[in-house]
Chain A
Amino acid sequence: MSLISNAVSGLQVSQNALRTTGHNIANANTEGFSRQRANSVARPEQRLGDAGFVGSGAITDSIERIVDQFVTGQLRTDTTAFNDLDTFNTNIGKIDRLLAEGTTGLAQGLSDFFAAVQNGADDPASTPARQLIITQAESLVVRFGTLDDRLVDTQQNVNRELRAIAEAVNGLTGEIGQLNRAIGDKSAANGNPPNDLLDQRDQALLKLSELISIQTVREGSGNINVFTGSGEALVVGSGNNSLSVSNQGDLLLGERVRQKNITDRVTGGQAGGLIRFREEVLLPSRNELGRIALALADEFNQLQKTGLDLDGDLGQNFFTDINADRFQPQRIQPNAGNGSGDQKLTLDITDTRALTTSNYRFEVVEGTRNFAVTRLDDNQLVAQGPLSGAFPQAIEFDGLALNLESGTFQGGDEFILQPTASGAQQFETLISRPEDLAFASPIRTLSSGANQGGGSISQGEVLSLTGADGELLPSFTPEGELSPPLLIQFTSATTYQVLDNSDASNPKPLEPPIREQTFIPGRENALFTQDPGETRIIADGARLGLPEGRSADVVATGGPAQNNGYPIEQMTFSITDPDTGATTTQTRFTQPNASAAQTADLLSQVPGVSANAFTQATITDLDIENFSSPLQITLNGEALIETQTGGDPASNVPDPQTDEGAFLDYLAGRINENENLNALGFRATSGANAQGEPELRLVASSGVDMDVRLEADNATQNQLSVNDGTGNPNVRLSGQGAGSQSIVTVGGQLDITLADGVSLETAPTVSQLLGDSGDPDFAQSSFLGIQASIKGNPEAGDSFSIEFNSDASNDNRNAQRMAALQTENVMGGGELSFGSAYGRLVEEVGTQSASARTNTQAAQSVLEQTQSLRDSISGVNLDEEAANLIKFEQVFNANSRVISVARDLFQTLLNAV
């Protein structure tokens, strides 16, 4: 009966093969299905005595699943890579077009806005042109808002998608766990693996790899454990770890208590693509947009504030103040794990030009009282140091000032700083009245109608309304005027002084005075300092000039001059480098009886110090009764009275007894015409004091000592008084007879200008030359916040004035500066304009998008090849199955035939019986 038995086994084998083929055909279109093959083997043979062995038919040994584990793994990797890039590409494609489109992008908005500003500058008095600027500014605000809203929406979509992905991942990992258990159970029950369950598990893994990058580890038991690309367990055996997404959009793994933030570690798959898009494109784009908005608002506001509006008031903010209190919560995100929740911090933007697009992390280093600020874009440490414990503590970096206001800061505390992220949302216009646009410059300059010379003054500009300390400069308080208005008066063709012109009929010196300044004809002479930190010391020591207590000496004619009595003193300058903060000191010793000119030269050698010396004296109260020889007045060795033979005054010399004014006019003329005296910078004016008494005013712009001598008869009263013009008492010179001179020496004045960061201490503290160096007002700020220049050839007596620019409806100087902002590089440390910063954003997003597009295509074709390889190994080929069908049918038929032969044999045998 073995023949039948053999045939029956053949029938069973071919039936199994046919069923398998049918299964393959049925699943030809099933996703993840791997074709199966029925493997048959010969049954154990039977011994036929000495004849050996005879076969006993066939049996189906196994139903094999045709897979290549390597290709399956590769397919998962390629799927992950493709989905990563594809997701990134799809999302970036949504915003790169948004940024560049004329109707949505910023470029057109900026262009329109600046065109309106330029238009306004063309006709500064025109209200419609001003209104247009406000309208365009509002539409620019809308553009910033819309653009930012779209980015925020996209960000929310990304987070929503991430949430969906997390749920899908959880579904898949759960399924894989269950499949692990089912496969384990079935394999254990019957040795051979359940092929279709394996396919299902592979398919689930493939689906999972679309979402996130995974690694699989096969266990002996047939389980597959799944980990994320960075090694976090997702499935272990039949259990799974669940993923979730926090409100901030962070990916968290695990259950509540032991949740772990894995956002930074997720790579690949749709989740990786989304996170990469969010972190590398979306957030930096928002930051850049915010930075442009902040810079635009701040630059405009600053110009507004240094301009005058149509009502004649100083301009107010055009856009919302970038450091408004209500923006603070958006800038600082405390870490949930911070020790105490009571810390108060503010983040102010101090310099939009230095601003970056990065976020920052401020942390108190674990276990210390030191803080560190890290720029997150490049992980650079930008500030660190000890917490002072005193509030407020300001920490400055990258154009930002982080102010710790109060609270307990302890090791491990962390804050994420987002200075620019919400900038575009914070961008709003504040001005609604066209008149409030500050197009005019706050100052104007005028030349006096009575000027004789050919000097001209520039239109002048405002440098800053605030001084080095950030306070409003006195020049601009109270508002609506320049206090004081200034008068620039030329005391000679090469010297000028600047006076307080509050009372135009009686100009007064400024505080500190600007006097005896040198003017270089034919060149632009800037009148004021550009240095907000500059200070000036006006020497007023007890021994300066012609001090109280000095009296005239009597010497033989031509004898030595009096000493000026200036002492030796130590002058110590502290010089702080504004960039490094390093301080150095330099010391100088003044020489005894040195002229102010010599001391000025000595001090001017110190870097950052410039000293100006000049000498002034007044000759007054003349009482010359004997207008005949001996009579001579001598100034620094030059005889002033012309004489005739015999020594009497020449006939053209007016008699001071009859006309003192004419006599002093004569002396002034003699001094002004004397070449030797001119070489020393001498000049003289004859005038009258407040009481109308005649006087002769002398100035030596060089700062040499003035040596005044009178030689006159002593029998009658012949006297004159000399003073130094600073309120010190007169010194009276009186005639001592022929051959003797009554003499006095007047020392020079000193003005010392110190650049920002330079200070001066004297020893003794109360200097006999400079005054009390311990006095807080010893060095006074000389920064006026304005600048103007004079050129040409003014003459003595010419004057120019600088005053508040009221009623300047047709002034567009400030508007021109606003219009010029369009192309000025005011961002990124002076390298980017608003337009180019935006252009760079578009370019960066465009480049990323372009490379994402190319990479996606590449990844797709790689994926398709691998898919194709997998299909070629595991896929069902219907033609093949059709052939198999025929083949197995034939085998079945043949086996049936064998049974039929066996039956014939049996029949024959029966018939034979």
Chain B
Amino acid sequence: MRVSSSQIFNIANTGMRDAQSAINKTSEQLSTGRRVISPADDPVAAVSILRLNEELGRLDQFEKNIDLAQNNLDLEETALDGVTNLLQRVKELTVRAGNTGTLSRQDYQALASEVESRTQELLGLQNTRNASGQYIFAGHQGGTQPFVDEGNGNFRYQGDEGQLKLQATSSVQVPVSDSGKRLFLDIPSGNNTFETSADDSNQAEPPARITQGQIIDQEAFDEFHPRDMRISFNAPEALSPPSANFTIRDDQGRVLVANQPYQSGADIELKGVRFQIIGQPMPGEAATPATLDFGAVGGFDFSAAPETIEFSVGGKTETLVLDRNITSATDLVAALTSTTETVGGSGADRNAEKLANLGVDVDTTGLSVPSGQNIQVRNGSANTDAVLGFATQNDGSSSTNGELAQPGDSFLVEASNRQGLLTTLSRLSNAMRNVEDTAESKAALADVVGNTLTNLDNALTRITEVQGELGARQNTLDSSRDLNQEIQLSSRETLSDIRDVDFAEASTRLQMQQLVLSATQQSFVRVSGLSLFNFL
């Protein structure tokens, strides 16, 4: 083939260019230690590198999460150890308190003082905070103090049931907190018990309080259990002369006791339970009586043919019988409140009783219902219309001006089969404070001591249970850490395999490429020296 002079130079140029670029590439690989320098070198590897780096970043973060989780769990464990020790001490005190035969009232005062100081200590433990200042037993509401002493032995839980969870591996979340409600409040009680509280909507200022109360007759209470009581304060006018009073209803709205006079701090005893309300609760508003005035009272003689008329008040209906001659309002009142029959067998003798049953008062002006429930008079006739002076046929007439009494502040006694730890302790100290040197009082105390021991054991069981869970969580964290480290190791290896350069291979390659370059250079020098002109 014919070769032009420029080809000789071109070929050498190309050869040296390629050799130099290869050397350049290899030396870049060697100096960075990476095989894949740009994604174009190996697009698939480049993506794997991105993915592996992301994975490694995540694993690093999991590692940090696990450290933090373990710190949290350690703190919780420490707090729970403190609680356990404290409860053991209280248990000893309780056992001592069981010696009702030998201990005197003074001894009990001393014991009560110690229990009270332990209670405050327990309150502190239950309000433990972590390094970020968050209450660890408050559920999600870490910024709110979970257990608040409201005085009178009542403690309020202000946290919730939230549980903080941290990500330990890509698929495992580990809980790192337990709510105070579960740990310290929802402790199964040995006996049916109750919790007292003031209604959130109470308005008295300063608020009236209810004490945490004591069971004085377990049997009576068991019979009532699981119903709740609501103590609501009525208008003072409900008593005569007007004074503070309350009504206790059960959770179905049935009245247990009505209009009891109230005295701050006095014992209230009902259904085997004793508690006190302290302060001046906001009274309710009195009812506005419903009135239905007679119209122009006409005359009619029912003695020939007695007639009936229905009175309804608050869903209750009574049928009254008119069996006498009525000529005036006075006659009408007498007929409606009669206790005798004018016509034998008419049933008019029970009119007074029926009206009383409905809570209706009658005078010559008309009907009135002090409770404020409206009254309806119906199913009468033209004759009863005439006598009463208003429509009585069919749906008849109704009063519209009655207003029911509005209850004031109210308090709850909620039946429960659980009892908070703080309540258990304060009930014990309260019982010891109030013990008297009588056999009866000592026996009541012995009951409280027995219940307290059971409840303390239940609390210890709950705490042990949670401690077990903490251990299990620590194990999960440990195994997660191991797993993460294994993945990390294998990811690192894979990453190194696909990203990093093989130094031995690369150095050999570099040698080879250098050899090629120098051969090209030498041959160029030789070839370029050959020219006929040299000989001319």
Binding site for B on A (CB under 8 A): 28-29, 35, 92-93, 96-97, 99-100, 102, 105, 107-108, 110-112, 114-115, 118-119, 121-126, 440, 444-447, 449-450, 452, 459, 503-505, 620-621, 623, 661, 685-695, 717, 721, 730, 732, 797, 805, 807-812, 816, 819, 822-823, 835-836, 838-840, 842-847, 849-850, 852-853, 864, 867-868, 871-879, 882-883, 885-886
Contact = CB atoms under 8 A, between A and B. Distances in A.
Contacts of B347: 717
Contact of B38 (A505, A811, A843, A846): A846
Given A450-B195, A807-B144, A808-B160, A97 B254 contact: no
B199 A819 contact: no
A690 B253 contact: yes
A452 B226 contact: yes
28 contacts: A99-B39, A100-B39, A110-B54, A112-B57, A114-B57, A119-B64, A123-B132, A125-B134, A445-B161, A449-B157, A452-B417, A688-B253, A691-B371, A717-B347, A807-B143, A808-B142, A809-B134, A810-B143, A822-B58, A823-B170, A839-B47, A843-B43, A844-B43, A852-B40, A853-B40, A872-B7, A875-B6, A876-B6
Contacts of A805: 140, 160
A867 B133 CA distance: 79
B164 interface: yes
Nearest to A694: B254
A686 B42 CA distance: 79
Contact of B315 (A97, A693, A853): A693
B10 A868 contact: yes
A111 B55 CA distance: 9
Given A126-B132, A807-B141, A846-B46, A689 B58 contact: no
Interface residues of B, number: 90
B2 A125 contact: no
Contacts of B14: 864
Interface string B127-142: 0000011110011111
A808 B162 contact: yes
Interface stretch (B269-277, B452-460, B508-516, B528-536): B528-536
Given A687-B252, A882-B532, A810 B61 contact: no
B132 A125 contact: yes
Contacts of A807: 141, 143-144
B319 interface: yes
B11 to A, nearest CB: 8
A230 B127 CA distance: 82
B117 interface: no
Interface string B251-285: 01111000000000000000000000000000000
A823 B5 CA distance: 63
A596 to B, nearest CB: 25
B289 to A, nearest CB: 14
A877 B5 contact: yes
Contact of A838 (B4, B40, B50): B50
A817 B199 CA distance: 37
Interface stretch (B75-83, B105-113, B408-416): B408-416
Contacts of A693: 314-316
B533 A882 contact: yes
Contacts of B318: 623
Contact of A810 (B7, B138, B186, B200): B138
Contact of B143 (A125, A838, A846, A883): A125
A105 B417 CA distance: 61
A809 B143 contact: yes
A868 B253 contact: no
Contacts of B91: none
A168 to B, nearest CB: 24
Q: Which 9 residue pairs are nearest across A and B when measured between Cβ atoms?
A: A875-B4, A810-B142, A846-B39, A687-B252, A846-B43, A849-B40, A811-B140, A691-B314, A111-B57
Nearest to A505: B199
Contact of B317 (A732, A883, A886): A732
Interface in B403-425: 404, 410, 414-418
A732 B181 CA distance: 49
Nearest to A717: B319
Contacts of B61: 114-115, 118-119
Contact of B253 (A102, A689, A823): A689
Interface string B46-79: 1101110110011011001100110000000000
A393 B47 CA distance: 42
B160 A444 contact: yes
A845 B39 contact: yes
A125 B142 contact: yes
Contacts of B10: 864, 867-868, 871
A808 B371 CA distance: 46
B201 A842 contact: no
B1 interface: yes
B249 to A, nearest CB: 7
Contacts of B142: 124-125, 808-810
Contacts of B205: none
A44 to B, nearest CB: 34
A449 B195 contact: yes
Contacts of A809: 134, 140-143
B46 A692 contact: no
Contact of A686 (B7, B64, B249, B252): B252
A879 B140 contact: no
Interface in B142-193: 142-144, 157, 160-167, 170, 173, 177, 181, 185-186
A810 B4 contact: no
Contacts of B157: 449
Contact of B5 (A835, A844, A878): A878
Nearest to B230: A505
A126 B5 CA distance: 78
B39 A96 contact: yes
B202 to A, nearest CB: 10
Contacts of B304: none
A102 B46 CA distance: 12
Nearest to B313: A691
A700 to B, nearest CB: 20
B382 interface: no
Contacts of A452: 226, 416-417
A447 B58 CA distance: 36
A505 B5 contact: no
B351 interface: no
Contact of A849 (B4, B39, B65, B249): B39
